[in-house]
Amino acid sequence: MSVHSSDIKRVTTHIIQEMKTRGEKITCLTAYDYSMAGIVDAAGVELILVGDSASNVMAGHETTLPITVDQMIYHAQSVVRAVKRALVVVDLPFGSYQGNSREALSTAIRIMKESGAHAVKLEGGLEVKESIMRILSAGVPVMGHLGLTPQSIYKFGTYTVRAKEDAEAQKLLDDAALLQEIGCFSVVLEKIPSKLSQKVTESIQIPTIGIGAGQHCDGQILVLHDLLGINKTFKPRFLRQYADLNSIMTDAISNYITDVKSKSFPNEKESY
C-alpha cells in the first residue's frame, strides 16, 4: 500500500522519489528563519529550501553572490529548529564548491553538521560533476539545479529564460541525465521552456522541481516572500501571488503608530 506524503511524519529523499513514481506533485518553498519555517512546515510542504536567495530577500543584495557559508549555516540552523516534517535542503553558496571538489565536500559537511539539514543543493551540471560526486561519496544527499542558475548571473548577463536554443537545451538534457546517473535525488529546473521541462521530467527517474518551468515538472518551488506578496518589486511571469502581506503589514504598523500618537495604546487593560 502506498503512503501519501500527507501521512508522513518526516519527509525523506526516498519519499520524494515515491511521490514522482505515483504522480503526486511535490511542493517546495523557501524559508530563512525560525518563525516562517514553522508556518511553512505546519502548512504541509514536502521540501523547504534554505536558498541563497536569502542574499536578496533577507540581506537586500542585488544578487545571490555575496552570501557566505557562515550566513547560510545561520539561516539553516534557524529553519531546522522549527521544522518537524519537511525535508530541509540548503544551498551551497557561490564560491564554496565551483572548481574545488575538496572545498565542496568540506562546505557540505559543515552545513550538514552545524545546521542539522537533510541535503544540499548545487547549481550546474557537468562542470560541477566532481564536486557533486565527492559530496555524495560522504553520504550527503544532493539536489541539482539547471537552467537559469542565479550564481552565474554575470556570465549570462540577464535573468531571461534559458535553453531556448537547441544546443543549450540539449546540454540541459544531458546534464539532467548526468545528475541522475551520479546520484542526485532531484533537480530544480529554473526558467526554461515548458516543453523542455516536460522532456527532462519524462526522460529521468528522479523528481524535477520547477520554478518558471511550466506545469510538467514533478513539483514546484517559489520564494516564500514572493508568494506572500511581502516583496512588491519582484513580479516575474511565473509568480502567482497568494496574498498581499505587504499591504496588511503596512496597515497594521500604520494603525500602531496612530494609536501610540493618539495615546490610545496602551490602554488600561494593556497596562499593569
Beta strands in 47-95 (DSSP E): 47-50, 87-91
Alpha-carbon span 176 to 113, nearest angstrom:
28
Q: Which of 181, 190, 202, 270 is catalytic?
A: 190
Alpha-carbon span 248 to 242, nearest angstrom:
13
**Single-letter code of the amino acid located at 240:** R
Q: Is 190 a catalytic residue?
A: yes
Q: What is the separation of C-alpha 220 from the centre of its chain, rounded to a whole number of angstroms?
A: 10
CA atoms within 13 A on the CB side of 132: 26
Query: Cell triple for residue 161?
Result: 529564460
**101-115 and 69-82 helices, crossing angle to 10°:** 30
Beta bridge partners of 124: 145
Alpha-carbon span 114 to 88, nearest angstrom:
13
Alpha-carbon span 115 to 147, nearest angstrom:
28
Cβ burial 235-254 (10 Å sphere, 16+ → b, else e): eeeebebeeebbeeeeeeee
**Active-site residues: which are they?**
190
